Amino acid sequence: MSELTETTDLAGQGALTEAGAVAVLAQEAAAPDELDPNKTYSLLVPDGDHVELLDLEYRLPAPERARGTYRPATVGALIDHVTRHYDKDHTTIWVHPTSGRIAAVFNDTAPGEGATPGWRDHCSQLDLRHTDEWLFWRSKDGQLVSQTEFAEHIEDGVKEIVEPAAADMLELAQSFQAAASASFRSATRLADGTVQMQYDEQLDAKAGRSGEIPIPTEFTLAIAPFLGEEPYKITARLRYRLTSGTLRLGYRLERPNDVVRDALEQIAARLTDRFTHVFLGEPAGEIA
């Protein structure tokens, strides 16, 4: 085997074999190729085991088509965004009946036989968010808690109570807090529908007192299930349990899932009034 002659590289920074020097000269002598950004090129990677595509769209003055997924925060913002990009033939809107997800696909396949398929990669997606008020009242739905915890919950959410008057419910909460150390002995349903809670309270070693607290069997809330939407009236039915003088209180919201379902149907109706192709469900494939 013949020895390779060493020589200094063109930059003067080290020794190269003769073969290496020839390769460097060949690289520097090659004229640059002019590429057309309107075309896609295949590129053989250095190890030679596969080919990659070289897309030069980013070199164009503007993209070849709109793409990407936008994420508005409310139905109103979604409507504004869809209006901006709306195409009567190619835009489809999908409202999922339970998840609270609404998706608009701006470049979907147009209707009609023989229509050219759309790329379906230019979208707007809204994941409806529950309001803080809705989450607050749902957090204790169906639970029985101590009278102090119940009273604090009523005080924190009193602004959403519309029947009975918020002031009456606040007074009820304060009554339970004042009787926190009392022993409750009975509950009597009155003719007007309220329940009279009787209690005994030991004030000191010699004296005590008895009292009564009337509570409604239900109260009404006005809360919006989703951010940016109108409030719904929803009934909360009072629940209680007396065990060895200890009173536990709670409420159960009346069919909250029906409220969510109706809110979604109303949103779908609003979209149908504005746009042509609105569907219950979700678009095919995954939105990025």
Range of 96's domain? 68-129+262-280
Number of domains in the chain: 2
Name the more confident of 20 and 78: 78
Does residue 121 sit in the same domain as residue 191? no
Given a cut of 50, is residue 131 above it in pLDDT? Answer: yes
Cβ(106)–Cβ(91) below 8 Å: yes
Strand pairing class (92-95; 278-280): parallel
Does residue 176 sit in the same domain as residue 276? no
Mapped onto helix, strand or coil, the DSSP state of residue 177 is helix
Tell whether 57 is covered by a domain: no
Does residue 157 sit in the same domain as residue 251? yes
Name the more confident of 194 and 203: 194
Tell whether 202 is covered by a domain: yes
Tell whether 246 is covered by a domain: yes
pLDDT at 106: 96
Mapped onto helix, strand or coil, the DSSP state of residue 238 is strand
Given a cut of 60, is residue 125 above it in pLDDT? Answer: yes
pLDDT at 157: 96
Query: What's the pLDDT band for 177 if we cut at 50, 70, 90?
Result: confident
Q: What is the mean pLDDT of the chain?
A: 83
Lowest pLDDT segment from 11-15, 215-219, 224-228: 11-15
Mapped onto helix, strand or coil, the DSSP state of residue 157 is coil
Strand pairing class (144-146; 161-163): unpaired
| Phi, psi dihedrals of residue 65, rounded to the nearest 5° | -155, 160
The model's pLDDT over 67-111, given as tens digits with 9 standing for 90+, comes to: 999 999 999 999 999 999 999 999 999 999 888 999 999 999 988
Query: What's the pLDDT band for 274 if we cut at 50, 70, 90?
Result: very high
The HSE-up count of residue 46 (CA atoms within 13 Å, CB side) is: 0
pLDDT at 5: 41
Given a cut of 70, is residue 162 above it in pLDDT? Answer: yes
Does residue 141 sit in the same domain as residue 219? yes
Query: Which residues lie below 8 Å from residue 272, measured CB to CB, with a gap of 6+?
Result: 278
pLDDT at 3: 44
Tell whether 45 is covered by a domain: no
pLDDT at 35: 73
Tell whether 288 is covered by a domain: no
Tell whether 37 is covered by a domain: no
pLDDT at 207: 43
Does residue 149 sit in the same domain as residue 220? yes
Does residue 199 sit in the same domain as residue 234? yes
Does residue 169 sit in the same domain as residue 272? no
Query: Which residues lie below 8 Å from residue 99, measured CB to CB, with a gap of 6+?
Result: none
Does residue 138 sit in the same domain as residue 117? no
Cβ(152)–Cβ(180) below 8 Å: no
Does residue 137 sit in the same domain as residue 123? no
- Smallest CA-to-CA distance from 125 within 55, 71, 60, 188 is with 71
Q: Tell me which range, 45-49, 194-198, 238-242, 282-286, is most confidently predicted by mean pLDDT.
A: 238-242
Cβ(10)–Cβ(27) below 8 Å: no
Name the more confident of 48 and 278: 278
Given a cut of 90, is residue 7 above it in pLDDT? Answer: no
Does residue 86 sit in the same domain as residue 159? no
Does residue 184 sit in the same domain as residue 235? yes
Tell whether 52 is covered by a domain: no
Tell whether 10 is covered by a domain: no
Query: What's the pLDDT band for 221 if we cut at 50, 70, 90?
Result: very high
Q: pTM for the whole thing?
A: 0.75
Does residue 188 sit in the same domain as residue 217? yes
Angle between helical axes of 166-178 and 147-156 (0-180°, round to 10): 150
Query: Which residues lie below 8 Å from residue 136, measured CB to CB, with a gap of 6+?
Result: 156, 157, 160
Alpha carbon distance 85, 77 (integer Å): 13
Beta bridge partners of residue 51, listed in sequence order = 44
